């Protein structure tokens, strides 16, 4: 059974969060697809994508926001749709509805997100869910060589290339960001976010916790 790999920290013992059953589910789901995850843990929870980017010292766009939506079906109940979104962006629900062919799609409540994925908001990962989940991936994540996604709990994350993230999740890659966000995320408009790359990591394990709220 694969074990999460923890980046060495100042403390002699690894953070207990890496042995959390939720984290193990994520690691094991990735291993079944032939990808070994390197899970790292924050000393404290971050509350926004901006906080996460500063904690790691990366561009805001490298933070993967895992946002759960539901498509109501009269006979099947609520079908979950997971959006993997660049930290600079917000989901345009109308665009998402067109991409997935679900005109009634809406944002999941915290309880729905937990019941449908098996994870709580703040730690919802791209893989390892309680049941089948359709995944849509923001193409702006592909601007980066490496992005950071939640690993099952609110302080655990892992780095992954956008290509590997897509392979892990069988995601549809489609433009689902609000138009103004997509413009702001372009190279010409990314000056403010890119300044995070020069910020020294401020946490014990050099990792952020991606957040679900679209801050």
| Calpha distance 43→21 (Å, rounded) | 19
Distance from chain centroid for Cα 73: 26
pLDDT band at 74 (very low <50, low <70, confident <90, very high): confident
Q: Is the pLDDT of residue 127 over 90?
A: yes
Query: What CATH superfamily classification does 16-198 receive?
Result: YbaK/aminoacyl-tRNA synthetase-associated domain (3.90.960.10)
Compute the average pLDDT of residues 117-135.
Answer: 95
pLDDT band at 77 (very low <50, low <70, confident <90, very high): confident
- Please identify which residue in the block is written with the tokens 């413009």: 183
CB 116 within 8 A of CB 203: no
pLDDT band at 209 (very low <50, low <70, confident <90, very high): very low
pLDDT band at 135 (very low <50, low <70, confident <90, very high): very high
Domain boundaries, the chain: 16-198
115, containing H or E segment: helix 110-117
Question: Bigger pLDDT: 211 or 166?
Answer: 166
- Supply the pTM of this predicted model: 0.78
């Amino acid at each position: 059974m694969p074990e999460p790999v923890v980046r060495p920290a100042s403390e002699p013992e690894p953070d207990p969060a890496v042995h959390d059953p939720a984290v193990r589910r994520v690691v094991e789901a990735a291993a079944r697809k032939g990808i070994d995850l390197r899970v790292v843990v924050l000393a404290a929870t971050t509350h926004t994508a901006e906080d996460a980017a500063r904690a790691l010292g990366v561009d805001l766009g490298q933070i993967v926001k895992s946002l759960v939506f539901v498509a109501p079906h009269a006979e099947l109940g609520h079908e979950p749709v997971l959006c993997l979104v660049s930290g600079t962006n917000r989901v345009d629900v109308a665009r998402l509805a067109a991409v997935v062919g679900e005109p009634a799609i809406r944002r999941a409540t915290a309880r729905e997100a937990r019941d449908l994925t098996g994870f709580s908001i703040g730690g919802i990962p791209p893989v390892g869910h309680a049941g089948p989940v359709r995944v849509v991936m923001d193409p702006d994540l592909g601007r980066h060589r490496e992005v950071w996604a939640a690993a099952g709990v609110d302080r655990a994350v892992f780095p992954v290339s956008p290509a590997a993230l897509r392979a892990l999740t069988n995601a549809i890659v489609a433009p689902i960001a609000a138009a103004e966000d997509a413009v702001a995320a372009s190279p010409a408009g990314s000056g403010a976010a890119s300044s995070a790359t020069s910020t020294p990591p401020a946490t014990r394990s050099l990792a952020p916790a991606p957040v679900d709220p679209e801050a």
